[in-house]
Structure 1
Amino acid sequence: MASYRYDHAHIISPDPEKAAQFYVDMFKATVKSKGTAPDGTPMVAVDMSGSNIFFKGRAEKPTVKAPPAGSTYGLEHLGIVTDDLDAAVAELKAKGATFVQDITNYRPGIRISFLKGPDDTIIELLERKPVS
């Protein structure tokens, strides 16, 4: 039987370098590579604690068919876990992050908050604690 594991998120951006730099500045991601994708668009790969995020420009002729206009299905947000949500929110606000939802107790053991990412993306910060 085949095995599976998460590998990456791939985000199309009008400015891939700027989008990648947001994750470097805010979340201490590291740039793995910068280059050109096979379709000729710029591409930047970052590593965030072992998870890959690829930022790429929009191709004139995309290799993957786009969803129909007006589609509301697809990626809603990226989730990033932290061991100290209060400290993370304070740190990110000090760096200029814009939060769209303050810290909320989602359910026992899980607290969440949401901030704006580059290109109108939404990023969820979450903290998981054992429930007694």
Structure 2
Amino acid sequence: MNFRNILVPVGLVMVLVVGFRSYGWMGVAAVGGGVLMWALLHFTRLMNVLRKASDRPIGHVGSAVMLNARLQAGVSLMHVVAMTRSLGALQSPENEQPEVYRWTDGTHSHVTCEFHGGKLVKWALERPVAPEDAPEGDAGSAAP
């Protein structure tokens, strides 16, 4: 069970009670204004991330290798979407844990990320295999 779902509302109520006991209704108004500002800041950040992601194709990233280098365990899905500026292509069944998303770049390299509870658990970079029958050397020269 995620204790954050319980602790945040309980903490907010406690801060409101402390505000009321210290300054009366003026304290409640001040604490309420602070909580409202905090919520609006997070909402604004979420909307900016989603607005930037809406301009790009789903599951596309500039460089899968750079994304792989920048990922860290424990970051949220919103943080990864902000880094890629693209929504990931969902690979797992909808509304099922863990959630698996994939971002692919122009060279067909892709990073597959697994999220559990909205947090990045593991990821893997896969690069396309180079064809073995391609001649090594100057591919631009023509044979006589």
TM-score, reference length from structure 2: 0.26
**Which of the pair is proportionally richer in helix?**
2
**Which of the pair is proportionally richer in strand?**
1
